[in-house]
A and B are shown apart, each in its own frame.
Chain A
Amino acid sequence: MIEVNGLAKRFGEFTAVRDLSFAVQPGEVLGLVGPNGAGKTTTLRCLAGIIPLSGGSVQIAGVDLAADPVGAKRALAFFPDEPRLFDYLTVRQHLTFVARIYGVAGHEPRVQPLLEELEIADKADLLPGALSRGMKQKLVIACGLLHDPRVMFFDEPLTGLDPLGIRRMKDSIVRRARAGAAIVLSSHLLHLLEEVCTHVLILKQGEKLAGGTLAEVAAQFSQGEASVSLEDVFIRATGGTED
Chain B
Amino acid sequence: MVGALLYLRLVSLRNWLASTAARLRQPKYLASALAGAAYFYLVFFRRLLSTRPPAPGAPAGLAGGPLEPGAALVLGAAILFTFVLLRFAYSWIAPAPSPRLRFTEAEIAFLFPAPISRTRLIHFNLLSSQLYILLSSVLLTVVFNRWSFLGGNPAARAVGWWLILSTWNLLGTYSQLAIALRIQRAGGGVRLRVLGALLVLATALAYSTWQRARPPAEAELAGLRPMAAYLVRCLDIGPARTVLAPFEWVVGPFAARGLRAFLLALGPALAIPAALYLAVLRLEVSFAEGSIAQAEQRAQVRTAWRSGTYRGAGAKLKAIRAPFALRDRGRPELAFFWKNLIAIQAWFNLRTFLIILMSFAIVLFANLRGPRSPIGATAPLVLVGAVMVTFYTLLAGPQLFRQDLRSDLVNADILKTYPLAGWQIVLGQILTPTLLMSGVLWLALLTAGWAYSRLPAAPGALSHSAQATLVLCLAAVIPLIVFLQLLVPNGAALLFPAWHQASRNRAAGPEALGQRLIFVFGQLFAVLLALLPAALLGFLLFFASFWLLGIPAALVIATAGVVAVVAGELCVGVWWLGGRFERLDIAQELRP
Contact = CB atoms under 8 A, between A and B. Distances in A.
| Most B CB within 10 A of own CB, among A69, A100, A103, A104 | A100
A166 interface: no
A93 B340 CA distance: 12
A80 B587 CA distance: 13
Interface residues on B, range: 35 or more
B346 A73 contact: no
Given A11-B588, A89-B339, A89-B342, A69 B582 contact: yes
A73 B421 CA distance: 10
A101 B319 CA distance: 21
Which residue among B326, B408, B583 has the maximum number of chain A CB atoms within 10 Å of its CB?
A: B326
A88 B585 CA distance: 25
A160 interface: no
Interface string A67-95: 00111011011101000101111100100
Contacts of B418: 73, 101-102
B457 interface: no
B472 to A, nearest CB: 33
Contact of A93 (B307, B322, B332, B346): B322
B343 A88 contact: yes
Contacts of B330: 100
A106 B327 CA distance: 9
B339 A77 contact: no
A145 interface: no
B361 to A, nearest CB: 29
B409 to A, nearest CB: 11
B410 to A, nearest CB: 7
Contacts of B480: none
A215 B587 CA distance: 36
Nearest to A88: B343
A226 B128 CA distance: 59
A97 to B, nearest CB: 5
B419 A102 contact: yes
Contacts of A69: 582
Contacts of B309: 87-88
Given A49-B416, A78-B417, A97-B339, A104 B328 contact: yes
Q: Which secondary structure dominates where chain B touches chain A?
A: loop
Nearest to B300: A129
Indicate the size class of the contact surface on chain A.
Answer: 35 or more
A190 interface: no
A51 B586 CA distance: 9
Contacts of B339: 86, 88-89, 93, 97
B328 A107 contact: yes
A40 B588 CA distance: 15
A125 interface: yes
A179 interface: no
A74 B419 CA distance: 5
A45 B326 contact: no
B335 A87 contact: no
Contacts of B318: 127
Interface in A19-73: 45, 48-52, 69-71, 73
B414 A101 contact: no
A93 B321 CA distance: 9
Contacts of B317: 87-88, 127, 129
Contacts of B304: 87
Contacts of A90: 319
Interface of B: 304, 307, 309, 317-320, 322, 326-330, 332, 334-335, 338-339, 342-343, 345-346, 408, 410-411, 413-414, 416-421, 582-583, 585, 587-588
Given A51-B588, A73-B420, A88-B345, 12 more contacts: A48-B416, A73-B417, A84-B414, A88-B317, A88-B320, A88-B339, A89-B343, A97-B338, A100-B329, A101-B419, A103-B329, A127-B318
